[in-house]
Amino acid sequence: MRFYNHQHKYYCGVDLHARKMYVCILNAKGKVVVHKNIKTDPELFFELIFPYLEDIAVGVECVFCWYWLADLCAEHQIRFVLGHALYMKAIHGGKTKNDKIDSYKLATLLRGGNFPTAYAYPAKWRATRDLLRRRMYIVRRSAELLAHIQNTNTQYNLPAFRKKLTRKYNHDGVAERFEIPDVQKSVEADLAMINALNQVLKKLEWHIEKSARQHDYHTLYLLRSIPGVGQILALVILYEIHDIKRFARVQEFSSYARLVRPAKESDGKWAGHSNKKIGNHHLKWAIKEAAMLFLRESAQAKYYVSKLERKYNKGKALGIFTHKLGRSVYFMLKNREAFDMKKFFDL
């Protein structure tokens, strides 16, 4: 957990919502100079903080609508601090909770150096990252449709499909294998939606690859040097990390990517694991997927994991291998080096 501990003359806490925002501004001594509920409007907000622009920090909790406020602060060179939503226990744990109290608590935490920070993703890369996440949503909807067809096929005890149904040219005769007309209609609907989603994905991926060339093509090349990692998976890893320099140590990167299990301990006694959801689940998925593709491509990786399985169980072995790959990604990007198979297995 990181805290914002820079000193300013004024501290602004914003309890932000889609239509309303409660703004609280404290001076360096902790006195409230502004405490007002306004419409969520850039002009109204800028007018409210204008008298304090000399030296002010604006803090807001990481909710879905923080983009415009971060961009406004960047435009006017105002210090913007994004608060980590899961660490804001001082806000959510009070006996009485409302927008007025929350905005005051945000400003107080900011002033006292106890404001837990999240990463404010830069506007230049943000839209492409969100588009990649949207692509993943569409891919999963397509996978759900494929799973429904497979389940329906199993329900009626029919022979397994010999060809992959992800391809349109393998859809001929799929619905006709079911005798009941309503079942046929259901499968036809699934196939039609899969074809439509595949067309959307094809255009989406072309646009994403075009955008990525303008940002950091060399890093993309480094990530693609990992066996089994293709263009899209490399893009996901690139855009979820953005800048490897924001992680001072490999341990911080592993924690952010959810590759480690945080332990709770008190009085020298182990009390289980906690905070498993803190971190970037998109990056976790991407590195786990890269590990599975690496295993598929490399006989040496399969042998390495099989040795771990003899010492641990299968799940633990895959977890160790994924963590090892995550650490390799960190050092690859930090040192600007391509993936080295020999170095990976020697370490």
User: SS3 for 8-59, per residue?
Assistant: CCEEEEEEECCCEEEEEEEECCCCEEEEEEEECCHHHHHHHHHHHCCCEEEE
132: closest CA among 247, 242, 219, 225? 242
Backbone conformation region of residue 30, classed left if phi is above 0, alpha if psi is from -120 to 50, else beta: left
Which amino acid is located at 213 in the chain?
Answer: R
| Backbone phi and psi for residue 20, each to the nearest 5 degrees, phi listed first | -130, 155
Distance CA 226, CA 338 (A): 8
14: closest CA among 61, 56, 53, 50? 61
Using DSSP's 3-state secondary structure scheme, residue 247 falls into coil
pLDDT for 304: 92
Distance CA 177, CA 170 (A): 13
Residues 143-146: contacts with CB within 8 Å, 24+ apart? 145/190, 145/193, 145/194, 145/197, 146/190, 146/194
Residue 104 tokens, joined: 């005051």
Distance CA 249, CA 91 (A): 30
240: closest CA among 329, 331, 324? 329
Burial (CB count within 10 angstroms: exposed 0-12, middle 13-18, buried 19+), residue 255 = middle
What class, spelled out in words, does domain 3-116 have in CATH? Answer: alpha beta
pLDDT for 263: 74
Count of Cβ atoms closer than 10 Å to residue 238 Cβ: 25
| Backbone phi and psi for residue 158, each to the nearest 5 degrees, phi listed first | -95, 160
β-bridge pairing 56-61 and 269-273: unpaired
Distance CA 262, CA 273 (A): 6
Give the chain's largest Cα–Cα span.
Answer: 78
Going across the sheet that includes 10-16, the strands are 32-39, 20-27, 10-16, 56-61, 79-83
pLDDT for 347: 63
Distance CA 174, CA 166 (A): 12
Q: What is the distance in angstroms between the CA of the first residue and the CA of the last residue of the chain?
A: 29
Using DSSP's 3-state secondary structure scheme, residue 174 falls into coil
What is the four-CA torsion angle of 209, 210, 213, 216, rounded to 10 degrees? -50
pLDDT in tens, the chain (347 residues): 789 999 999 999 999 999 999 999 999 999 999 999 999 999 999 999 999 999 999 999 998 899 999 999 999 999 999 999 888 877 777 778 889 999 999 999 999 999 999 999 999 889 999 999 999 999 999 999 999 999 999 999 888 888 888 888 888 888 888 989 999 999 999 999 999 999 999 999 999 888 777 777 788 889 999 999 998 999 999 999 999 999 999 999 999 999 988 777 776 777 666 667 788 999 999 999 999 999 999 999 999 999 999 998 899 999 999 999 999 999 999 999 999 988 888 76
Compute the chain's Rg from CA coordinates.
25
Residue 294 tokens, joined: 């690496």
pLDDT for 345: 85
